[in-house]
A and B are shown apart, each in its own frame.
Chain A
Amino acid sequence: MVDRLIGRTGRRGSSATDLPREPESPADPTAAVWARVQLARNLHRPRTLELLALIAADFVELHGDRFFGDDPAIVAGLARIDGRRVVVVGQQKGAETDENIRRNFGMPHPEGYRKAMRVMELGERLGLPIVTFVDVPGAHPGADSEERGIAEAIARSIALMTRLRTPIVTVITGEGGSGGALAIAVGDVVLALENAVYSVISPEGCASILWRTPDQAPAAALAMRMTAADQLQLGVVDEVIPEPHNGAHTDHPATAAMVKAAVLRHLDALERRPLDELVEARYRRYRALGAFTTIDVEPAAIPERPGFTDRLRNLLGGATRAATGTGPNPARSYDEPPAREEV
């Protein structure tokens, strides 16, 4: 989940940004997915602050984690949306280079996540629901970030969100980059904009590890099934919010209106549920994510080299099996259909 920044430098300068791109390119699935990744990374997509300006009647940003400093890559605060008071946490990239540098290209440091935790806990205490907006290439991978415990901050933020006794609605608005995204993306409901992507590692990082070259990033993007529609199928995302025809960056107000409607609809539903039930359902939601089978075989597990007598016995045993045509072959157990399947 880590080698995410490889091959990014080209993207930053060469701005694939202003060209309105068609997400649909039916001929080549790899190209279609890659076009979506570019859309998700478009510099002019609405971020947390742009969305809030359009959907919130009031927003007061709160700063600082009370330990170390304030991280401009994460914004957090109190807002009023359609008369409803909420706590908002979101990631913030910049649209221009200056702002992007100030906001560390949207890559949060530990203090960003600790600020997020502080404000989300405030929401819990005040009885306010939490809305998070996720758009991040990944957490900041530098030495200072490691020194201050980026992994610990992410882990603790995830842990906190699994038990907060208040409704949480998460919207993936752009790049859902691995643990850096997940740290503020644990929700009762997880929504994603149509052209958003969500992945365990950046396609560049995945390609450079598994394909041994970052040039295969589009192939990696396809293999990881990182588009919003794929994530919906996998159950990681609960609902996809459609975008205006050429993508969210072409029409902020229309995008914001759709986001607002979806968020309010889910908040309405969540707020009607008792808190105990809500937190238990959230636990169950994540507890159920994963794909594995249970094989009914005791582990054969004798990796040591068999001794001479064993080999002789096997040889004879094998011969009798072959002669009678019966007897289980332990190697076959992998081919048998799964006894139980959980997805």
Chain B
Amino acid sequence: MPIKLPSFRQRRDTYPSDLWTQCPACQEMLFNKQLEKALRVCSNCGHHFRLSAPVRLNLLLDPDSFVEQDPGLQSLDPLGFVDLKAYPDRVAAAQATTGLRDAAVWGLGSIGGRQVVICVMDFSFMGGSMGSVVGEKVARSAEAALDRRVPLVIVSASGGARMQEGTLSLMQLVKTVAATERLRLAGVPLISVMSDPTTGGVFASFAALGDVNLAEPNALIGFAGARVSAGTIQGELPEGFQRSEFLFNHGFVDRVVHRSDLRDELIRLVALMAPEVPDASADNGNIPAFRPLSFLSALAERVIPESGEADRG
């Protein structure tokens, strides 16, 4: 029997958690700084960790090109929903831990020098669930893309509709899809990027309807929870069920793209798909923000002479 020598190495489970992260797929301990450098992809097995919205935006957009819109949107509690915790408390806790106001961020930016509207979801905010705020942001981003006739990029990371807002969350499926459908009819491209996870009501609305659907490798993408499908429906679930490659094989994803290639893919796609704008764009750039005002002044110009005539008449 060999003699057990005392180990002078630190035991693995004493890795300080702010320096090291364990890969959930291969159990490898990854040094955080190197993990960040590798875009939060495990260097050992290629597992894609989830990204926060700000990191995702940095990864995809040209440096310093992002201008956030509607940062002040915040959910209400329309149902007075209380489960084990009150809904407003859950929102407040998520805001404190993420620094976000809700599970999506949208704004204007550029990819490879071309203007885009981008909306990014963040799974760390209540599972990226879609309530009124997320729905509103997606709809506004689609409307902005339509106004400017620039491509819309939506990066999904969501467990689905937010239960705490009840059917109002469900109605966000209609709200978002109605807006993206108008894009489609107007020939403005929608690029849907699905990251881990994209499930339930988010997959069953705008995420599935991209003109181009991209997915990160091995992301969970599906409608019903795999647990349910396995538990209540007889029969074995196929290998890799509801993963990116499964969707690719069944024709619902155009391309499965490694995170390190994602920006380059988007640059190429945007360049190939963006509507060719006749060069009035210099003049178009700033208008949408002032539209309400210019609309009012146009109205005023029209109304004042008429009322003057009416007085005279």
Contact = CB atoms under 8 A, between A and B. Distances in A.
Given A2-B225, A156-B209, A163-B181, A148 B71 contact: no
A145 B223 contact: yes
A286 B75 contact: no
Contacts of A339: 72
Contacts of A186: 174
A292 B74 contact: yes
Given A2-B160, A182-B173, A301-B99, A236 B168 contact: yes
A223 B73 contact: no
Q: Which 5 A-B pairs have the closest CB atoms?
A: A141-B224, A290-B132, A303-B99, A291-B78, A162-B178
Contacts of A205: 228
Contacts of A295: 72-74, 101
B204 to A, nearest CB: 4
A193 to B, nearest CB: 16
Interface in B153-199: 160-163, 165-175, 177-182, 184-185, 199
A8 interface: yes
Given A139-B223, A151-B203, 11 more contacts: A2-B225, A3-B225, A142-B224, A200-B162, A201-B161, A234-B79, A287-B175, A290-B168, A291-B75, A293-B76, A294-B72
Interface stretch (B231-239, B262-270, B272-280): B231-239
A211 B81 CA distance: 13
Contacts of A5: 228, 231-232
Given A141-B228, A151-B203, A299-B101, A162 B233 contact: no
Interface in A171-225: 176, 178-179, 182, 186, 198-201, 205-206, 209-212, 219-220, 223-225
B173 A143 contact: no
Contacts of B222: 146, 151
Nearest to B99: A303
B250 interface: yes
B229 interface: yes
A35 B221 CA distance: 35
A199 B167 contact: yes
22 contacts: A2-B223, A141-B224, A141-B233, A146-B241, A146-B242, A151-B203, A200-B163, A212-B84, A224-B163, A225-B166, A287-B179, A289-B171, A289-B172, A289-B174, A290-B132, A290-B175, A291-B78, A293-B73, A295-B101, A301-B99, A341-B76, A343-B78
B28 interface: no
Interface string A298-342: 110111000000000000000000000000000000100011010
Contacts of B77: 291
A139 B160 CA distance: 15
Contact of A206 (B99, B139, B163, B238): B163
A155 interface: yes
B200 interface: yes
Interface string A112-133: 0000000000000000000000
Contact of A286 (B83, B171, B224, B231): B171
Interface string A253-270: 000000000000000000
Interface residues of B, number: 78
Interface of B: 68, 70-79, 81-84, 92, 95, 98-99, 101, 131-133, 135-136, 139, 160-163, 165-175, 177-182, 184-185, 199-201, 203-209, 222-225, 227-229, 231-233, 235, 237-238, 241-242, 246, 250-252
A210 B78 CA distance: 18
Contact of B172 (A150, A199, A290): A290
A212 B72 CA distance: 32
Chain A CB within 10 Å, residue with most, of B92, B179, B203: B203
A294 B78 contact: no
Chain B CB within 10 Å, residue with most, of A2, A145, A219: A2
